[in-house]
Structure 1
């Protein structure tokens, strides 16, 4: 890569990597040189989440993703009139696709919440996360945030479902007796929540597998040691 070939960048990556090799060999040590290992985790999560949301908020983001596409929410599998509609394969697939498209609006609301959480993140065992599995940092962030992502997405999903002109979605919601738009939005948010974290985890895994793609000397130095 051009940036890696640059002398200054290459030397910085080498020096950070050399320091990281020694630091990671020392249990409990959380810093190398002027960098903290927590900063490395934050950079890893920032890049992973930005890459994930760039894909999920693009047209067809959830639907086109192998890891983020989700099935119908449980709300639509409880029997009644909606089950008659879903007995049609084309209707079922059409509804699934449309709800995946609606989820993009939820992801737009979720993105800044995740970015803010990463900035404020407190990590007690950053070295452990660096040494962890391919999605260790994502799993840690998800546990720290709890249901925050779901709560952030519901308003955007409610708005999108309220104004949708798609006949399949409107027909399916009308067949849900006693269920309002807010409940449907929550059901979609529960599915989309998993999808968002799956996508962030996939991006983290990709960065760990090829840290040079980040052009970040700290991440390259720390992750290549592993």
Structure 2
């Protein structure tokens, strides 16, 4: 452990001791601090994203349409039809509503991954600041959210206003339903981590907002 990590870990452990937040065996778990930080960040982020309009209304998480949708080999008339504000807005709302369905399936996968945070990683993540813990979790999970979310997004795309998707994909060459589904799923996965990172940074900046003595004690040291 680096000297700075050691000092931060020692200070945090002291703060936890003062707060009475001990773990079994008389020790103090910095890993538990990071797990609680990530758990609360994910809960807040997912609750907002799974609410009606959660993705669509978010400046961070809104799912954009694939670049190829509206282009391709179609003639200029078809392209103008596809790029019309009405059609694009309806399709944009639909893919974002479908992302809400996918987010529901992401929650248990993220919760399981959070429990894998090790004590060895905890000290550096604690001092990392900002969204360090979320970034670490995203890198460790890789594409794990995609197969979990894909069935929900597939269902959402077929369920919500399916006629507009059918018409749009029929007019737009170069992308099919599966391509749209896969694009939305990947973007939704990244959006979840982006929202989590924002929540983590907010919690670090104001740990008292959590009403969690463990987080208040550990993050207050920093």
**TM-score, length of structure 1 as denominator length:** 0.80
Q: In the superposition, relative to structure 1, how do residues 196 and 83 fare at CA in structure 2: closer, same or farther (>3 Å)?
A: farther
Match of 2:92 in 1: 96
Match of 2:41 in 1: 48
Segments of structure 2 that go 5 or more residues without pairing to the other structure are 1-10, 18-25
Match of 2:116 in 1: 120
Residue 64 (structure 2) aligned to one of 71, 77, 87:
71
Query: Equivalent residues in 2 for 1:68-217 (5 A)?
Result: 68-76=61-69, 78-81=71-74, 83-122=79-118, 124-177=120-173, 179-217=175-213
Contact 2:72 2:172 in 1 (8 A): no
Alpha-carbon separation, structure 2, partners of 1:207 and 1:131:
14
Match of 1:12 in 2: none
* Number of positions where the alignment pairs a residue of Structure 1 with one of Structure 2: 202
| Deviation, structure 1 residue 160 | 1.7
Segments of structure 1 that go 5 or more residues without pairing to the other structure are 1-15, 23-32
| Deviation, structure 1 residue 100 | 1.0
Alpha-carbon separation, structure 1, partners of 2:139 and 2:47:
22
Contact 2:73 2:174 in 1 (8 A): no
Question: What is the root-mean-square deviation in Å for CA atoms of aligned residues?
Answer: 2.5
